[in-house]
Structure 1
Amino acid sequence: MAARSAAPFVPEGADLAALRAAARGCEGCDLYRPATQTVFGEGPPDARLLIVGEQPGDVEDREGQPFVGPAGKLLDKALAEADLLREGVYVTNAVKHFKFVPAERGKRRIHKTPARGEVVACLPWLHAELGQVRPELVVCLGATAAKAVLGSAYKVSERRGQLEQADDYRVITTVHPSSVLRAPDRAEAYAAFLADLRTVRDHLGT
């Protein structure tokens, strides 16, 4: 059985607006079935900095925009403190649909990490975004995003905050802001995350 892929749904040579419109109809893997909608990337088409997360969360799935939930608000705060304004950044996710399991009680939907096959199936969208934006620097938030960009063997725990090279762009990896929210010592985790973003700012200035 052939591996599933978004590739047939990605219009070749399309600009970001056309890619976003086409992504609404993507059935490249089964995650589109339970999700409310596709959550495509947003930001300036000529952004110098492109940030990649794992996947949209519950709030993003309902609103159709990336990084607008609690983790997104923490990211906005850290970007501002690192002198990296969100308005100048293109933000997206490695996977464009929310993967979740229903809570045992109530209507809550609990995040579930995408499988490697689901990440690979969605890569054509990320590659198309990178090809259109052509950022100077890419920041990967968390293991799923880092492995999507730098390969399945990459370990954020060993390499976070360090400058990497991937194809035509430079990459820095760090943790996902959601992990900061879950950290036992949130202040310490936030300080380390902010330090990584300040490293990003320093490299973007060179």
Structure 2
Amino acid sequence: MTPRRPSVPKPDRRIETDPAQRPGTLDECRRCPLWHDATQGVGGVGPAHAAIMMVGEQPGDSEDREGRPFVGPAGRLLDDALREAGVTRGTVFVTNAVKHFKWEPRGKRRMHKTPAQREVDACRYWLERELTRVSPRVVVALGSTALKALLQDAHVRLQDYFGKATAYEGRTILATWHPSYALRAPDTETRKRAYADIVGTLAEAKRIVEERESGKKAD
């Protein structure tokens, strides 16, 4: 059953609201039309000043219903990867590049639909607020949409950033697959390899943070 949405006036979905508007809360956001068919906006969760931030693409069906990021199947795989990498989920800030669930109906199901670049750009407002507030040392881009949002470049390719620590706006950015890719890749070997890549990237994020913290203590 599709969850009920708040009873508020709806604009014509063909008309995009001016992205320059600066709403105070996600519930007030009309910077793009995605709010219209979403149950709610889904902001990031985690410690106020987490050293590591993880950025995915957008909320999925489970996240849209519960109002928290990475609580569905991809979130459970991410939890496993974090444990294997030696990172406690409660110590990291988890969010998405786009805060509303974009979907299309397929029978009785709501199927994920990749957000358009204009929607990613409109939602950069919220991601920037989270980056400024949390001020993480390392940001892990989970998938190409997240990487494009973080680097503000629609033409970057995820594969070109694997195994690289990229300095951007005073932060270190690491890139890896989105957990949903490790769940849905076409064959077992590809799924195992994608999962191992995610674990390796998270372990590298932890190593970078620990190295910087030990350097500060030495000073």
Instruction: Give the aligned residue type for 2:92.
Output: V
Is 1:175 aligned to residue 177 of structure 2?
yes
Is 1:26 aligned to residue 40 of structure 2?
no
List structure 1 segments (4+ residues) > 6 angstroms apart after TM superposition. none
Determine which of 139, 160, 165 is the counterpart of 1:163. 165
Q: In 1, distance between residues paired with 2:197 and 2:43?
A: 28
Sort the Cα spacing of 1:196 and 1:117 in 2 relative to 1 into closer, same or farther, 3 A: same
How many residues end up aligned between the 2 structures? 193
Instruction: Give the aligned residue type for 2:74.
Output: A
Q: In 2, distance between residues paired with 1:161 and 1:109?
A: 34
Unaligned runs of 5+ in 1: 12-21
Bigger relative contact order, structure 1 or 2 (CA pairs below 8 A, ≥6 apart): 1
Instruction: Give the aligned residue type for 2:198.
Output: F
Q: In 1, distance between residues paired with 2:72 and 2:80?
A: 13
Contact 1:40–1:92 (CA under 8 A) maintained in structure 2: yes
Instruction: Give the aligned residue type for 1:79.
Output: L
**CA-to-partner distance for each residue in 1:137-194, whole Å, 9 max, x for gaps?**
1011000000001122221112123100111211101110000001212223212221
Contact 1:6–1:125 (CA under 8 A) maintained in structure 2: no
In angstroms, what is the RMSD of aligned CA positions?
1.6
Instruction: Give the aligned residue type for 1:60.
Output: E
Contact 2:139–2:171 (CA under 8 A) maintained in structure 1: yes
Structure 1 SS opposite 2:28: coil
Structure 2 SS opposite 1:28: coil
Larger radius of gyration: 2
TM-score by length of 1: 0.89
Q: In 1, distance between residues paired with 2:16 and 2:78?
A: 37
**CA-to-partner distance for each residue in 1:119-143, whole Å, 9 max, x for gaps?**
0001010000100000011011000
Sort the Cα spacing of 1:33 and 1:6 in 2 relative to 1 into closer, same or farther, 3 A: farther
Is 1:92 aligned to residue 95 of structure 2?
yes
Sort the Cα spacing of 1:7 and 1:129 in 2 relative to 1 into closer, same or farther, 3 A: farther
The answer for the alignment partner of 1:70 in structure 2 is: 73
Q: In 1, distance between residues paired with 2:208 and 2:84?
A: 16
The answer for the alignment partner of 1:135 in structure 2 is: 136
Unaligned runs of 5+ in 2: 1-14, 212-219
Contact 1:140–1:172 (CA under 8 A) maintained in structure 2: yes
Contact 1:4–1:121 (CA under 8 A) maintained in structure 2: no
Superposed counterparts of 1:3-22, under 5 Å: 4-5=18-19, 7-9=21-23, 11=24, 22=25
Identity, in percent, stands at 47
